[in-house]
Amino acid sequence: MDYDANHLLHRLAGAGAPGKVFATRPGLPDVTYGELFAGAERMAATLTEAGLAPGDRVAVQVAKSLEAVQLYLGTVLAGGVFLPLNTAYTGSEVAYFVSDATPRILVCDPAREAEIAPLAPDATLLTLAPDGGGSLTDAARDHTGFRAVPREADDLAAILYTSGTTGRSKGAMLSHANLASNSETLRDVWRFTPDDVLIHALPIFHTHGLFVATNVALLAGASVHFLPGFNPDAIVAAMPSSTALMGVPTFYTRLLDHPGLTRDCVSNMRLFISGSAPLLVDTHEKWEARTGHRILERYGMTETNMNTSNPYDGDRRPGTVGLPLPGVELRILRDGQPANQGEIGVIEVRGPNVFQGYWQMPGKTAEELRPDGWFITGDQGFVDADGYVTIVGREKDMIISGGFNVYPKEVENVIDAIPGVKESAVIGVPHPDFGEGVVAVVVRGNDSLTEAEIQDALKHEIARFKQPKQTLFLPELPRNTMGKVQKKALRETYAGLFTD
């Protein structure tokens, strides 16, 4: 097999020895590197036979499986552009993505074939079931071997759609070089080697599970415990034979509730990584007290892969997302000018990890990607004297109340430190006098906690204009599949709180 002509694939295929186990799966046979890439070749041949040409999109909405990973590898091997879709998307949502991306091939679960087929009448429809069955794998059995289609560094390897929490979803175009360079950097800074065994419990329709967890493991020649999803029992059971876990904050908060999480259980583990959403300082502290390990938090985006990471060696600081990765530049701008040290502004990044623009949205690309390569992330944060980056929230989440800027993260940090508070989300909603009123949405860890107790605790901690004008209690905060709190949904729900 010759991958030398393929920018991403020759890297992914080059690390693991053919006979080495790539994946172990609950109740299923182990899969070696050789078997993984042989299956990818069969997928590539099948896609090509179905009409895929270099640069064509392959839209995929299927459950997590090793066959789905082979489909990803096979798409890139065949010169296609992989377009994974969240399995929770409804038919109407899928209709938007396929009409925008115009895929040549659309792969879905057989159970949804009748629903999905009419959405892309010009695409070839194939199916892939959670157990690996379906018309795609049926057709793939007839093929053996495939020579990688040559692709250049700047050719597209994938399109990932943003979550759409601030408007119409945009397709972030990621090149072979974007993915390969970032994964190689992460492999090195996080010290992944062929001796590692990664617990893979993340979905693979997202940057975190596919382009971080999967690609890093492949590039390192490591093995994975390939789990269908987050299951605390399965993760705890896998820890004694594993060395690393990549997760979202919800993983860690729920694992802390598991009685099997002990220092003996994690004695073989060397690294716990968290991302996709902010990790509370309280969770950091409880995890270290329970396991003796400090979680390594990092920061990335759909458009950039990973930008920063707390150090492998050195101080992993709770509340921060660490330092810019090697090769990644980061700056903070305030009113278009460089911010002073410790001053909050908009984060911009530049480097080989930064995407190629938004699919069929040149105007939006020009708004967010400067001609000199700086990407305007829309995240607000600051850099301290040691270079550590702290994110305080999205620019669109900032609240302007009575003419004063209120940064939600600052208020949330104070509220989260109050005894009896499990977590909080601070939002701004229309207010007749102040323009926007600060509202705290709180999940209680103590059912007796009252709004008055929260207000009293805040009096001496933050300025009056930052204090919530009302505190609401919910059993849990709305989140997307990667654990991010959906503040847009909260703002919509409580838009009339002060005006009705």
**Per residue in 110-167, pLDDT tens?**
999 999 999 999 999 999 999 999 999 999 998 988 989 999 999 999 999 986 444 5
Phi first, then psi: give them for residue 401, nearest 5 degrees: -115, 115
* Contacting residues for 26 by C-beta, under 8 A, at least 6 apart: 227, 228, 234
Q: Give the span between the Cα atoms of 410 and 359, in whole angstroms.
A: 35
Q: What does the pLDDT read at residue 54?
A: 96
* DSSP-assigned letter for residue 479: B
DSSP letter for each residue of 307-344: EEE--SSS---TT---EEPTT-EEEEEETTEEPPTT--
* Contacting residues for 379 by C-beta, under 8 A, at least 6 apart: 301, 346, 347, 391, 393, 394, 395
Q: What residues in the chain have per-residue pLDDT under 70?
A: 1-7, 9-11, 13-16, 163-168, 403
Q: Give the span between the Cα atoms of 227 and 225, in whole angstroms.
A: 6
Encode pLDDT of 465-493 as tens digits.
889 999 999 999 998 877 788 998 999 99
* Contacting residues for 236 by C-beta, under 8 A, at least 6 apart: 255, 258, 260, 261, 265
Written as six digits, the tokens of 248 are 């979202």
User: From residue 107, how far is each of 78, 130, 171, 211, 402 by CA, in Å?
Assistant: 16, 12, 18, 19, 51
Side chain identity at residue 38, one-letter code: A
User: From residue 15, how far is each of 18, 172, 179, 215, 314 by CA, in Å?
Assistant: 9, 28, 16, 11, 28
* DSSP-assigned letter for residue 104: S
Q: Which residues sit opposite 83 in a β-bridge?
A: 59
Q: What does the pLDDT read at residue 248?
A: 87
Predicted TM-score of the model (pTM): 0.84
Q: How many CA atoms lie within 13 A of 172 on its CB side?
A: 24
Q: Give the span between the Cα atoms of 316 and 246, in whole angstroms.
A: 16
DSSP letter for each residue of 205-261: SSHIIIIIIIHHHHHHT-EEEE-SS--HHHHHHHGGG-SEEEE-HHHHHHHTT-TT-
Percent helix, strand, coil in the chain, to 5, is: 30, 25, 45
Q: Give the span between the Cα atoms of 492 and 476, in whole angstroms.
A: 17
Q: What does the pLDDT read at residue 408?
A: 86
Q: Give the span between the Cα atoms of 54 and 155, in whole angstroms.
A: 10
The candidate with the shortest Cα–Cα distance to 135, out of 102, 111, 119, is 111
* DSSP-assigned letter for residue 176: H
The candidate with the shortest Cα–Cα distance to 116, out of 140, 137, 87, is 87
8 Å CB contact between 115 and 91: yes
Tell how strand 105-108 and strand 124-127 pair up.
Answer: parallel
Tell how strand 375-383 and strand 389-394 pair up.
Answer: antiparallel
